[in-house]
Amino acid sequence: MKTIQIVKTKIFAFILILGLTQPGYAALVDMAEYQDWDGVEASISTEDINALQPDGMSALFWAAYYEETDMVSLLLDAGADASVQNRYGLTPLIQASITGNGEIISLLLDAGADANARTLQGDTALMNAAKAGTLQGVQALIEAGADVNARDSYSFQTPMMWAAAFNSAEIVRILGENGADVDARSAELIFSGVQQGGVAGDFPNGGLTSLHHAARENAIEAVEALLALGANPDILDPQGISPLRVAATNENLDLAKVLIEGGADINDGSLVDIMEIPYKRLAWQHAARNYDDQTTVEELTALMIEMGVDVDSAPDNATPVFSTNFVGDAGTKDQTALYNAVLGDRLEIVTMLLEHGANANSLNDGNTPLAALFNIYTGFRPPNAVNGEVADEEPTLEEKMALADLLFEYGADINAVIGTGGNILHQAASLGEDEIVGFLIEKGVDLSVKDDSNRTALDIASGVPPVGGEKPAMFGMPTPETPIYESTMAILTETMNVQGVAIEEYVAPPSEEGDEDSEEA
């Protein structure tokens, strides 16, 4: 028994001695972690100043972390290793850059710290200093030879991109003056199976320049600095989206104005994007950002018209993925500014666009501005709603009729073919909108027009389904029958009799199979 006890004692003593000699348990670094700076100072001459904790943290690391400038200086003077890296690849210099302490950055560089050391993710001290906005630190790092065009290993972002995104305009200027590429791009990413602009597929994202980053983050001063350095305001990302469209889709209208005044192409489709901005959310953002003189949608539209924008231009690309992922409803592809302005019931903007030549019959997926006005177009979306946002007050039918009269004044065709081959009356009848039906009759709509299923508006109000029948049942629920609107039927029947329009018994068009059989015969 005594022998066993002696063995246990010796093993314990060995473990104790072993533990005390391991760098992970040195008292100096532990005191630094718990900010016992008096203890650290008292132990500098007796303890291992470069002892490490298990994760590679040293006393100098902790002093930089807590921004203890005097202690950093004291430890460096005593021989602390300025280039030590912990298990994550961080150095005291990178740590000081993360906290944005320019004085400590300078001290570490003077002590020989590697200005281009990287973390395991490829971050450098300059990237973090640019992100933190420490002008002194950025200047010191550049003077020490830091690579101004270094890229991280996961998104390929540069110090310039970080400075731009965080609106550090002076740092943007210094980086540019020291050789930073103002038009460098981040990594291009591919989102698989994305539904965008009504089309499912693989869509690119990323590939952004510093100007794209600044436009997205509403970094106005950074944009001004980038433009002064010669950044290309019309450079496109992999989706074909310009910085101006990024600003528009992110509702940064003051910044969009800066880009426009800085020479950005105003015919890139951004006018359509601007029309998608819902008033309610924009007002909230202006209040949150505390703008003194916020640019309105009307003001920006007027500026673009003054500078010669093509009011009928439609973007070739749908709303960017990086916007739709957060905003919701995607798709400005092939839309016009007039269509979206009418959809939002924006009389002042509609008037401006029409007065400057906008086509009152422009189509969006087969729908006209007139159809959008009365909210009876295919692909239903609530009135005055964009990206899921609904205005506080919906315009009255009288206000909509006044806007319709404006469209008619500028040549809107009341009998234009929309949707499934009918005119706007077909859509109104399909919803039983008696007031709209009456208004359209008053304006001279053709009651004899038939849609692709050979139906008149009266047939539709009578419940005649489209060719092909009702939509298939979903989720095990029974399919509702095509509705019948008796009051709408009465209005249409009476008017057709008064106008002498023949009321014929409905006959479905020949089926495609029947056509094929006829051809074979």
Residues in the chain: 521
Q: Would you say 47 and 26 are in contact if contact means Cβ atoms under 8 Å apart? A: yes
**Alpha-carbon Rg of the chain, whole angstroms?**
34
Provide φ and ψ at 199, rounded to 5°: -125, 130
**Domains defined along the chain, listed by start:** 414-469+481-521 (1.25.40.20)
pTM above 0.75? yes
* Residue type present at position 87: R
Dihedral of CA 90/96/100/105: which sign?
negative
* pLDDT at residue 313, rounded to an integer: 84
- The residue among 135, 107, 138 whose CA lies nearest residue 124 is 138
Residue that is written with structure tokens 């391991």 in the block: 22
Q: What is the pLDDT of residue 379?
A: 38
Long-range contacts of 440-447 (CB under 8 A, 24+ apart): 440/414, 441/491, 441/495, 443/404, 443/408, 443/414, 444/414, 445/414, 445/415, 446/414, 446/415, 447/492, 447/495, 447/496, 447/499, 447/501
Phi/psi of residue 118, nearest 5 degrees: -125, 150
Instruction: Mark 39-62 as b/e (b = at least 16 C-beta within 10 Å).
Output: bbeebbeebebbbbbeebbbbbbb
Q: What share of the chain is helix, strand, coil (3-state, %, to 5)?
A: 45, 5, 45
**CA torsion, points 222, 224, 227, 233, in degrees to nearest 10?**
80
What does DSSP say about strands 188-196 and 389-390: parallel, antiparallel, or unpaired?
unpaired
pLDDT the model gives residue 174: 98
- Per-residue buried b or exposed e for 279-318, using 16+ beta carbons within 10 Å of the residue's own CB: bebbeebbeeeeeeeebbbeebbebbbeeebebebbbebb
How far, CA to CA in Å, does 226 sit from each of 201, 209, 433, 472, 506? 34, 11, 53, 55, 66
Coil, helix or strand at residue 422: strand
Q: How far apart are CA 99 and CA 112, in angstroms?
A: 20
Dihedral in degrees, nearest 10, Cα atoms 468, 449, 415, 374: -50
What backbone torsions phi and psi does residue 225 show, to the nearest 5 degrees? -65, -40
Cα angle for residues 73, 77, 82 (degrees, 5° grid): 75
CA–chain centroid gap for 332, Å, is 13
Instruction: Check residue 392 and give its pLDDT.
Output: 46
In a structure prediction context, what are the per-residue pLDDT tens digits for the chain, which is 521 residues long?
444 343 333 333 333 333 434 444 448 999 999 999 999 999 999 999 999 999 999 999 999 999 999 999 999 999 999 999 999 999 999 999 999 999 999 999 999 999 999 999 999 999 999 999 999 999 999 999 999 999 999 899 999 999 999 999 999 999 999 999 999 999 887 655 555 444 444 444 678 999 999 999 999 999 999 999 999 999 998 888 999 999 998 889 999 999 999 999 999 989 988 887 765 455 545 555 545 567 888 999 999 999 999 999 877 765 544 443 333 233 445 678 999 888 888 889 999 999 999 999 988 877 889 988 876 543 334 433 444 444 445 678 888 888 999 999 999 999 999 877 889 999 899 999 999 999 999 999 999 999 999 999 999 999 999 887 555 444 444 445 789 999 999 999 999 999 999 999 999 888 755 444 444 44
Query: Tokens 């319709």 label which residue?
Result: 404
